[in-house]
Amino acid sequence: MKKIVALFSGEGTNLANLIEKIHLKHGAIVCAITNNPNAGGIAKARSAGIPVEILDHREFESREAYDTALVDLIREYNPDLVVLCGFMRILTPVFTSNIRSINLHPSLLPAFKGARAIERSFESDEKVCGVSVHWVSDELDGGEIIMQKSFRKSDEETLESFTVKIRAIEHEILPLSVMSLLKES
């Protein structure tokens, strides 16, 4: 069975979705790694019997030092695929040149790269918005697109309703992307 390492920082809703749709069906999530010792996703992973590694970025003197430790930790699990699902770290070339990974981003890249993508997309004049899954590269949210799905923003849209649509698409296309890539590898 193909091995996946998942990286997350927050509540772990996308991690929980991967556990439900992928884990032990299409691949095994052999480890979930977080940079946040208080992340809600820790309990979600542990309740599924998935080992959790907490690598707190605040304990490192630089991004490069953190990424070196992260690369070493990931390599211990020898994954076929590394999935960033809500991992809120800007990764350096120490990571990007050593780990082949995919990322979920809540906009139609190349629009709205970086932080606050949902809010910026919602506040924009764009009528068509959506979600992207892409390969992680040295450029923030700049790697090759694997999958995108869009929807038309309505005039009555609120940030809350917009966010619900984004989350639903995330929960649809991240597992589809992972399944497709695991079949190819």
Measured between alpha carbons, how far is 134 from 42 in angstroms, rounded to an integer?
24
**Residues in Cβ contact with 57 at an 8 Å cutoff, skipping those fewer than 6 apart:** 35, 63, 66, 89
Measured between alpha carbons, how far is 160 from 147 in angstroms, rounded to an integer?
24
3-state SS string for 36-93: CCCCCHHHHHHHCCCCEEECCHHHCCCHHHHHHHHHHHHHHHCCCEEEECCCCCCCCH
Given 23, 105, 134, 171, the catalytic residue: 105
Residue 158 neighbours by CB distance under 10 Å: 10
Q: What's the CA angle centered on 178, arms 185 and 44, to 5 degrees?
A: 130
Is 23 part of the annotated catalytic residue set? no
Q: Which of 104, 102, 109, 85 lies closest to 181 in space, CA to CA? A: 102
Catalytic positions: 105
